[in-house]
């Protein structure tokens, strides 16, 4: 399927068509976004396992880290490679794929580690995503389900179609369990506003297929390194409140990371912590990163909004800084110092939250 750069970010293929295409492919590479989370890892591992059920050794997942501490436990013996940033494809993966599947993103900014590899192969790329924005020229085939709480929802259906099953509840346990991880983590263990009846039906089907929810919770949420807890303490100690206590701001510097013995992957999910404050409508979490090309500073931004009428659309705010995501959860990588990033984002959030109350 040829790629038309003028195409818009919309679905142009069905999951049945993508499943049939993957079933016919001898070799498949499965990708996701930088710094993969539970939905990204769970969905990619599940799709790999489904393909390898019908064609052993036919699929492998490649990741651009940092990886979560529980990654190896979930991936098990699935062919999975963490790219070191310079070797693409990874050793032993040099043969050309017939198909490339990208899950949980379709944005070039989230595919930095594999952009050079992907661009000449775009006609062999399919994107399956649930975000409201992306770059259509990443792929020739796209299935975008913005109503899904997690990409694991359409990924579960894709796995069912690949395996020729009549129900998601019939998936093998080793396919169902990582999909459950994707749904559980992207819904905040079923407490976020994106939980809907279809989400719970998907989760129930995956449990029926053998996913062990208590073991999954232990694996994902009770495996923190001491450094992560120390970093959480530092981020909470940085708490600032703005706009009559409606905006909460937290931050971590590179010095914080070094002093705590932390790694970039240790700070995920911290933006959720300040939502326990009753007056807060939106949380901004800033993480100072290593300097980028030409010694330009990089600050990572994570935004979380409550499901209230007076909370801002954080996707719109993140887009102002080159990022995006969802109405209630979004982020961006900003070429600004931590101080400048905070100043600009607080101003944008203050304007957005005032507008939401108008």
18-64: per-residue pLDDT in tens?
Answer: 999 999 999 999 999 998 999 999 999 999 999 999 999 999 999 99
Are 234 and 162 found together in one domain? no
Query: Is 10 part of a structural domain of the chain?
Result: no
Query: What's the rounded mean pLDDT across residues 192-219?
Result: 96
Q: Which of 200, 221, 242 is the last residue of a domain?
A: 221
Query: What's the rounded mean pLDDT across residues 276-305?
Result: 88
Question: Per-residue pLDDT for 354 more than 90?
Answer: no
Q: Which of 175, 202, 221 is the last residue of a domain?
A: 221
Q: Which of 221, 254, 289 is the last residue of a domain?
A: 221
From the list 193, 141, 216, 183, the residue with the least C-alpha distance to 305 is: 193
What pLDDT, on the 0 to 100 scale, is given for residue 324?
Answer: 86
Task: Provide the whole-model pTM.
Answer: 0.79
Question: Per-residue pLDDT for 293 more than 70?
Answer: no
Residues 146 and 94: their CA atoms lie apart, in Å, by 34
Are 201 and 238 found together in one domain? no
Q: What is the CATH number of the domain that holds 32?
A: 3.90.1640.10
What pLDDT, on the 0 to 100 scale, is given for residue 5?
Answer: 46
Are 340 and 275 found together in one domain? yes
Query: What's the rounded mean pLDDT across residues 237-250?
Result: 97
What pLDDT, on the 0 to 100 scale, is given for residue 69?
Answer: 85
Are 336 and 299 found together in one domain? yes
Q: 96: how many CB neighbours lie within 10 A of its CB?
A: 9
Query: Is 71 part of a structural domain of the chain?
Result: yes
Are 259 and 349 found together in one domain? yes
**Helix, strand, or coil (residue 141):** strand
Is residue 283 within 8 Å of 303, Cβ to Cβ? yes
List the domain range (segments joined by +) for residue 139: 15-221
| Averaged pLDDT of the chain | 92
113-134: per-residue pLDDT in tens?
Answer: 899 999 999 999 999 999 988 9
Are 157 and 211 found together in one domain? yes
Question: Per-residue pLDDT for 4 more than 60?
Answer: no
Question: Per-residue pLDDT for 229 more than 80?
Answer: yes
Are 175 and 280 found together in one domain? no
From the list 132, 188, 128, 194, the residue with the least C-alpha distance to 157 is: 128
153-172: per-residue pLDDT in tens?
Answer: 999 999 999 999 999 999 99
| Out of 88-92, 204-208, 311-315, least confident range | 88-92
Provide the domain count of the chain.
Answer: 2
Residues 311 and 323: their CA atoms lie apart, in Å, by 19
Query: Is 235 part of a structural domain of the chain?
Result: yes
Q: What is the CATH number of the domain that holds 243?
A: 3.10.310.30
Alpha helices in the chain (DSSP H): 15-24, 38-54, 71-75, 115-118, 152-163, 173-186, 197-208, 213-221, 226-237, 254-260, 314-319, 338-356
Q: Helices (H), strands (E): how many in the chain?
A: 12, 12
């Amino acid at each position: 399927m040829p790629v038309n750069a003028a195409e818009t970010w919309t679905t142009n293929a069905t999951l049945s068509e993508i499943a049939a295409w993957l079933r016919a492919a001898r070799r498949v590479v499965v990708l996701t976004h930088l710094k993969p989370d539970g939905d990204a890892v769970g969905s990619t591992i599940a799709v790999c396992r489904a393909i390898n059920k019908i064609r052993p050794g036919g699929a492998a997942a490649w990741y651009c880290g940092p990886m979560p501490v529980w990654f190896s436990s979930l991936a098990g013996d699935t062919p999975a490679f963490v790219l070191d940033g310079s070797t693409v494809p990874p050793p032993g993966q040099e043969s050309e794929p017939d198909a490339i599947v990208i899950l949980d993103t379709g944005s070039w900014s989230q595919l930095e580690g594999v952009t050079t590899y992907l661009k000449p192969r775009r006609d062999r790329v399919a994107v399956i995503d649930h975000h409201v924005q992306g770059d259509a020229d990443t792929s020739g085939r796209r299935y975008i389900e913005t109503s899904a709480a997690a990409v694991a929802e359409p990924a579960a259906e894709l796995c069912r179609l690949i395996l020729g099953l009549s129900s998601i509840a019939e998936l093998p346990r080793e396919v169902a369990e990582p999909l459950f991880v994707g749904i559980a983590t992207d819904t905040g263990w079923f407490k976020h506003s994106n939980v809907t009846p279809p989400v719970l039906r998907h989760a129930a089907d995956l449990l029926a297929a053998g996913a062990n929810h208590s073991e999954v919770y232990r694996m994902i949420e009770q495996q923190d390194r001491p450094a992560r807890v120390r970093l959480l303490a530092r981020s909470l100690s940085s708490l600032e409140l703005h706009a009559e206590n409606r905006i909460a701001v937290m931050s971590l510097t590179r010095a914080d990371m070094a002093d705590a013995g932390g790694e970039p992957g240790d700070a995920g999910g911290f933006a959720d912590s300040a939502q326990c404050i009753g007056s807060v409508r939106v949380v901004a979490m800033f993480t100072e990163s290593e300097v980028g090309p030409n010694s330009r500073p990089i600050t990572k931004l994570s935004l979380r909004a409550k499901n209230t009428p007076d909370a801002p659309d954080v996707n719109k705010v993140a887009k102002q800084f080159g990022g995006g995501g969802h109405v209630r959860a979004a982020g961006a990588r900003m070429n600004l110092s931590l101080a400048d990033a905070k100043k600009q984002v607080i101003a944008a959030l203050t304007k957005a939250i005032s507008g939401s109350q108008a």
